[in-house]
Amino acid sequence: MSGDYSSFLSITDWRCPACNTNTNSLGNTFSGLTAVALHVAGKIRTGDSNHKQWASNIVGISIYDPTVNKSINTLADELQQAVLEHNRIRHEQLSAKIRELVEAQLATDEPHVRAYRHIKQLETSLHEFVQDTLQETFVGGNDSWWTDGIPLDIRKKCANRREEDTHREELYMYTDLIDLKSIIEKNWKLFEPKFRRIGTKISKNEFLHDIDKSNDTRRRVMHPIRKDVTTDELTFLKDFYNLVYRLALPRNK
């Protein structure tokens, strides 16, 4: 949250700045900013000292101005901005607290959970990188990137898998991490410029070896009897993901 008004308005948890309730006099949850402002205005007009105090502190004496105070609606209009601001800050603090908790949770996750997360990110990025690179080159016909870029044995395997799958995804969805290695190897001259573009020193063989290494960890992490993933492995996965992420970034970004 960076004070973005539109995303803020999508939040559903509105509270009164004075008494912290989130329901109106009928016991219904506030439907939005106007509802909270009307609640505060109503309380002020019945002489509630708590709400009057908050409003005169924050909004000022204008709330006692007869032209403002003449109806609950005009008074609510006057309060609206301050009510919004209060809820915006409250929501930002809440988001910050949630972020903190999530980050603390991630840090305490067991190594294999963290490894799993890195591998998922890595696979997604590498998958995109390979597809984008092939599609940039094989532009003749709809699926020439598939027929010309992907080795036949992998295409056959994917077709078989799709036949056995009730979901019947796009063929490329059935490739494995290790298939991506073969595809890059087969088309190295197409991938090589991307490595030069980001200025990495990693060689073709090192990169392909790193895919193997990630795949070994992947197999262990997915196995029901998990062996511990070491700190070195976690660091390796994270670094390798960062490299692939940079490779996969579209041009001019």
Choice between 29 and 147, CB closer to Zn ion: 29
CA-CA distance, 73 to 59, in Å (whole number)? 16
The rounded Cα 195 to chain-centroid distance in angstroms is 27
Choice between 35 and 134, CB closer to Zn ion: 35
Whether the CA torsion 76, 82, 86, 92 is positive or negative: it is positive
- Tokens standing for 68? 């403002």
Choice between 53 and 95, CB closer to Zn ion: 53
Give the residue from 147, 213, 192, 16 showing the smallest Cα distance to 139. 147
Choice between 55 and 247, CB closer to Zn ion: 55
Q: How far apart are CB 197 and Zn ion at their closest, in Å? A: 58
Give, for 153, the enclosing helix (H) or strand (E): helix 152-164
The footprint of Zn ion (CB under 5 A) covers 16, 18-19
CA-CA distance, 73 to 157, in Å (whole number)? 68
Q: How far apart are CB 1 and Zn ion at their closest, in Å? A: 23
Q: What are phi and psi of 168, to 5 degrees?
A: 50, 70
Q: What are phi and psi of 21, to 5 degrees?
A: -70, 155
Q: How far apart are CB 42 and Zn ion at their closest, in Å? A: 9
Choice between 14 and 241, CB closer to Zn ion: 14
CA-CA distance, 47 to 64, in Å (whole number)? 12
Q: How far apart are CB 92 and Zn ion at their closest, in Å? A: 21
| Residue nearest Zn ion by beta-carbon distance | 16
Q: How far apart are CB 51 and Zn ion at their closest, in Å? A: 6
Q: How far apart are CB 230 and Zn ion at their closest, in Å? A: 55
CB 32 within 8 A of CB 8: no
Choice between 72 and 178, CB closer to Zn ion: 72
